[in-house]
């Protein structure tokens, strides 16, 4: 049986995401692909698996989730208990500080 291969651009169209998201998923191991030369190719069943799973989360959100988990692990190792709401509050505080620095330079 011959299985059709799909380019990153085609996969992005099927999954309704940007090609850079597909490449990020490949690097994160969320999407299996083969690299030929400088291009990645994905087998059609792999795209069908992603569509069927219904768990398509943008890579940027995955990165934030991973960072939050690492931060929670670190705080827990230090003996403090952390909740998801505390992590979100910390992220909002850091975002506000970053925005105020940017506005101060404008």
pLDDT in tens, 22-34: 898 898 888 889 9
Domain ranges of the chain: 5-53, 59-105
Of 25, 56, 58, the residue nearest 42 (C-alpha): 25
Q: Specify the DSSP class assigned to residue 37.
A: T
CA–CA distances in Å: residue 82 to residues 62, 74, 89: 20, 10, 11
pLDDT in tens, 11-24: 888 777 889 988 98
Stated pTM of the model = 0.49
Q: Specify the DSSP class assigned to residue 31.
A: S
User: Which CATH architecture is the domain 5-53 placed in?
Assistant: Orthogonal Bundle (1.10)
Contact 12, 21 (CB under 8 A): yes
């Amino acid at each position: 049986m011959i299985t059709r291969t799909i380019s990153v651009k085609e996969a992005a169209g099927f999954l309704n995401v940007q090609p850079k998201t597909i490449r990020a998923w490949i690097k994160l191991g969320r999407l299996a692909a083969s690299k030929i030369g400088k291009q990645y190719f994905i087998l059609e069943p792999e795209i069908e698996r992603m569509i069927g799973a219904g768990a398509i989360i943008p890579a940027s959100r995955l990165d934030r989730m991973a960072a939050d988990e690492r931060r929670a692990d670190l705080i827990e190792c230090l003996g403090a208990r952390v909740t998801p709401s505390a992590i979100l509050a910390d992220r909002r505080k850091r975002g506000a500080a970053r925005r105020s620095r940017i506005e101060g330079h404008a």
